[in-house]
């Protein structure tokens, strides 16, 4: 009997074990496959039979700034007009030079605007106005890779009179009217590119300042001192080494007046792992500087108060350099000859100034005034040129009610949700 039970039990147990192993999660391991390899089996094509659940639904809430947000400013001295870049609505707004929004008024309407899909204006962060003709030169810092130029009578959704293809991430612009040369910065790779002022299409730059020795790092604003033949550049500080220390210059077409600028060639190679965060600076070069040359002078250090320095303006007559401080809501004024870890000679700062994320400053030497584009409060504020401390503006152009909040969406690159604080976070 015992023998009979034994004879029956052994095959039964063995069969049971096989069934368990076959259906068990680790059977594949017995056959030599890892758990990872098991999960690597692709799912079958799941298309074909699915019915999509379709819903029509409007959003519960929308956060959007309906008003103009000013990122750059220039004065057309000849025609008594203020030209403001409105990055919020991708347009250029032109106001009368002496416009002043009364405290009780909602806003001041611009005399004219240029904006719309035909204009190619996007993330317009820099502006230059020809002092003779009133032509407007607009920097597009993102998405559309053009410098766009309009004659002063243009308005509405019109194509630019002239467009110049530029690298990605252009930011600042200045012009040497005597030499008919136009200086444009790129943030990364940091460079100053110089074109004829009349350049268009794929015209090549006359010269490029870039490279390890230049001290350029996340370059922003640019100013030129024609009298002393000097070039000033503000730098926020992030930097990485270019492969073979060549950036935009590799796009030159030897013997040709055009260069190989295109969507594909705007991509540059950096050396992995060389990234640095340098202290912010103002670097100074000979006006005709090109290639990888060291600056003549550098303003840098804790005394300088530089913190994400943005656009600049130079007063050649008084030899003063004006620098915006958007983080600290300051306008810093340096001697044009300053060098090293120096304090500004004047600082405009305080609750009365109306400064809020000031991104650009313009010195109107004819009218002895300083104009500021405030990205943080829908305003452009005007001061006496030598204003300092907590000084109220003499005029203010507002594009919104005085208490209108500004979300300051530059270009939302990403969103995430903070579940602990019940907040959503955006990154410009």
Please, which of residues 317-336 interact with other proteins by CB under 8 A?
326-328
210 vs 320 by CB, closer to other proteins: 210
Quick one: tokens of 250? 């590799």
Q: Is 271 in the site for other proteins (CB under 8 A)?
A: yes
Order of strands across the sheet that contains 297-300: 219-225, 230-235, 281-286, 297-300
Quick one: tokens of 40? 């690597």
* Least separation in angstroms between CB 332 and other proteins: 14
**166 contact partners, CB below 8 Å, separation of at least 6:** 140, 145, 146, 147, 184, 186, 193, 261
- Binding marks (x or -) toward other proteins, 219..258, rule CB under 8 A? -----------------xxxxx------------------
- Segment near other proteins (CB under 8 A); pick from 74-82, 128-136, 139-147, 178-186: 139-147
Can you tell me which of 3, 4, 31, 50 binds other proteins, judged by CB under 8 A?
Answer: 50
- Segment near other proteins (CB under 8 A); pick from 8-16, 221-229, 273-281, 381-389: 273-281
Binding residues with other proteins: total (CB under 8 A): 111
* Least separation in angstroms between CB 206 and other proteins: 24
Q: Which of residues 6-35 bind other proteins (CB under 8 A)?
A: none
Q: Which of residues 56-115 bind other proteins (CB under 8 A)?
A: 56-67, 71, 87-91, 115
* Least separation in angstroms between CB 189 and other proteins: 9
176 vs 219 by CB, closer to other proteins: 219
Can you tell me which of 357, 374, 381, 399 binds other proteins, judged by CB under 8 A?
Answer: 357
Can you tell me which of 141, 205, 221, 354 binds other proteins, judged by CB under 8 A?
Answer: 141
* Least separation in angstroms between CB 210 and other proteins: 14
Can you tell me which of 2, 11, 52, 254 binds other proteins, judged by CB under 8 A?
Answer: 52
Longest dimension (CA), the chain: 120
What are the beta bridge partners of residue 347? Answer: 332
- Would you call 350 exposed, middle or buried from its count of C-beta atoms within 10 A (0-12, 13-18, 19+)? middle
Q: How many Å apart are CA 405 and CA 408, to the nearest integer?
A: 9
101 vs 357 by CB, closer to other proteins: 357
* Least separation in angstroms between CB 317 and other proteins: 29
Can you tell me which of 9, 132, 157, 260 binds other proteins, judged by CB under 8 A?
Answer: 157
- Segment near other proteins (CB under 8 A); pick from 9-17, 140-148, 330-338, 385-393: 140-148
Task: Reply yes or no: is the peptide bond before residue 143 cis, omega within 30 of 0.
Answer: no
The answer to whether the CB of 109 falls within 8 A of the CB of 126 is: no
What are the beta bridge partners of residue 322? Answer: 313, 333
- Segment near other proteins (CB under 8 A); pick from 73-81, 225-233, 267-275, 345-353: 267-275
Residue 161 phi, psi dihedral angles, 5° rounding? -65, -30
Question: Which contiguous run of DSSP H or E holds residue 346?
Answer: strand 346-349
Q: Is 351 in the site for other proteins (CB under 8 A)?
A: no
5 vs 44 by CB, closer to other proteins: 44
Range list of β-strands (E), 88-190: 91-96, 112-115, 124-129, 136-140, 146-150, 162-165, 170-176, 181-186
Quick one: tokens of 410? 């530059």
Can you tell me which of 97, 152, 154, 188 binds other proteins, judged by CB under 8 A?
Answer: 188
Q: Which of 326, 325, 343, 307 is closest to 334 using CA atoms?
A: 343
CA atoms 183, 178, 382, 109: torsion sign: negative
Q: How many Å apart are CA 258 and CA 269, to the nearest integer?
A: 22
Q: Which of residues 373-412 bind other proteins (CB under 8 A)?
A: 375, 400, 404-412
Q: Is 342 in the site for other proteins (CB under 8 A)?
A: no
- Binding marks (x or -) toward other proteins, 285..324, rule CB under 8 A? ---------------------xxx-x--------------
Three-state SS at 364:
strand
* Least separation in angstroms between CB 1 and other proteins: 52
Q: C-alpha angle 127/349/351, rounded to 5°?
A: 110
Whole-angstrom Cα Rg for the chain: 30
């Amino acid at each position: 009997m015992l023998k009979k039970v034994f004879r029956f039990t052994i095959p039964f147990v063995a069969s049971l074990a096989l069934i368990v192993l076959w259906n068990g999660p680790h059977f594949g391991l017995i056959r030599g496959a890892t758990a990872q390899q098991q999960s690597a089996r692709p799912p079958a094509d799941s298309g074909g039979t699915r019915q999509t659940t379709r819903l029509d639904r409007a959003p519960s809430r929308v956060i959007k700034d309906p008003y103009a947000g000013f990122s750059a400013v220039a004065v057309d001295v000849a025609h008594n007009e203020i030209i403001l870049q409105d990055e919020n609505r991708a347009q250029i707004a032109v106001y009368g030079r002496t416009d002043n929004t009364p405290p009780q008024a909602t806003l001041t309407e611009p005399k004219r605007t240029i904006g719309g899909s035909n204009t190619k204006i996007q993330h317009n962060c820099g502006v230059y106005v020809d002092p003779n003709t009133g032509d407007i030169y607009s920097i597009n810092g993102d998405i559309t890779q053009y410098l766009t130029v309009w004659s002063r009578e243009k308005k509405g959704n019109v194509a630019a009179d002239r467009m110049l293809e530029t690298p990605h991430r252009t930011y600042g612009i200045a012009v040497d009217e005597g030499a008919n040369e136009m200086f444009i910065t790129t943030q990364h790779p940091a460079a100053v590119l110089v074109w004829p002022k009349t350049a268009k299409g794929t015209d090549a730059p006359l010269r490029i300042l870039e490279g390890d020795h230049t001290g350029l790092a996340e370059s922003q604003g640019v100013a030129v001192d024609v009298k002393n033949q000097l070039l000033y550049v503000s730098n926020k500080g992030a930097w990485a080494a270019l492969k073979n220390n060549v950036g935009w210059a590799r796009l030159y077409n030897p013997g040709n007046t055009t260069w190989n600028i295109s969507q594909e060639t705007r991509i540059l190679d950096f050396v992995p792992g060389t990234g640095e965060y340098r202290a912010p600076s103002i670097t100074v070069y000979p006006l005709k500087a090109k290639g990888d040359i060291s600056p003549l002078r550098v303003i840098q250090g804790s005394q300088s108060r530089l913190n994400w320095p943005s656009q600049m303006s130079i007063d050649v007559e008084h030899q003063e350099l004006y620098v915006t401080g958007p983080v600290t809501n300051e306008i810093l004024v340096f001697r044009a000859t300053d060098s090293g870890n120096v304090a500004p000679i004047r600082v405009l700062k305080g609750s009365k100034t109306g400064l809020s994320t000031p991104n650009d400053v313009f010195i109107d030497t004819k009218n002895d005034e300083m104009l500021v584009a405030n990205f943080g409060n829908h305003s452009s504020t005007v001061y006496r040129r030598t204003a300092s401390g907590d000084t109220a503006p003499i005029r203010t152009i507002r594009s919104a009610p005085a208490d209108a909040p500004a979300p300051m969406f530059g270009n939302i690159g990403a969103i995430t949700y903070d579940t602990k604080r019940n907040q959503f976070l955006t990154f410009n």
